[in-house]
Amino acid sequence: MLHEPIHQQLARLGLRGAADALARLPLNDDLVDTLAALLEAECLHRDSLAQARRLKLARLGQRAHPADVDLRAQRGLSKARWAQLLSLNWFKQHQHVLIVGPTGIGKSYLSCALAKAVIDTKHSVRYLRLPRLGDELSALQALGRTSHWLKTLSRIDLLILDDFGLVSMSESHQPLLLELLEDRHQRGSVLLTSQLPIKLWHGQFKDPTLADAILDRLVHNAEVVELSGESMRKKTQRPTTDKDKAEPPN
As a three-state string, the secondary structure of 132-180 is HHHHHHHHHHHHCCHHHHHHHHHCCCEEEEEEECCCCCCCCCHHHHHHH
Residue 45 lies in a domain: yes
Residue 189 in 3-state DSSP? strand
Q: How far is the C-alpha of 177 from the C-alpha of 214, rounded, in Å?
A: 7
Report the pLDDT averaged over residues 98-112.
95
Per-residue pLDDT of 29-46, as tens digits, reads 777 788 888 888 888 898
**Contact of 150 with 179, CB cutoff 8 Å:** yes
Q: How far is the C-alpha of 181 from the C-alpha of 190, rounded, in Å?
A: 8
The domain containing residue 43 runs over which residues? 4-56
Looking at the structure of the chain, the number of domains it has is: 2
Both 101 and 187 in one domain: the answer is yes
Mean pLDDT value across the chain: 88
Both 37 and 139 in one domain: the answer is no
Both 64 and 184 in one domain: the answer is yes
Of 18, 35, 56, the residue that ends a domain is: 56
**Contact of 162 with 191, CB cutoff 8 Å:** no
Q: Indicate yes or no: pTM above 0.85.
A: no
Both 77 and 201 in one domain: the answer is yes
Residue 71 lies in a domain: yes
∠ at Cα 111 (43, 200), nearest 5°? 150
Both 45 and 159 in one domain: the answer is no
Please, which pLDDT band fits residue 22 given cuts at 50, 70 and 90?
Answer: confident
Residue 244 lies in a domain: no
Both 141 and 213 in one domain: the answer is yes
User: Torsions phi, psi of 149, nearest 5?
Assistant: -60, -45
- Residue 35 burial (CB count, 10 A): 17
Both 27 and 87 in one domain: the answer is no
Who's near 56: CB < 8 A, 6+ residues apart?
none
Who's near 216: CB < 8 A, 6+ residues apart?
none
CA distances from 181 to 15, 38, 140, 220, 233 (A): 38, 44, 19, 12, 32
CA distances from 68 to 110, 124, 135, 145, 184 (A): 10, 22, 33, 38, 29
Residue 146 lies in a domain: yes
Per-residue pLDDT of 106-148, as tens digits, reads 999 999 999 999 999 999 999 999 999 988 999 999 999 999 9
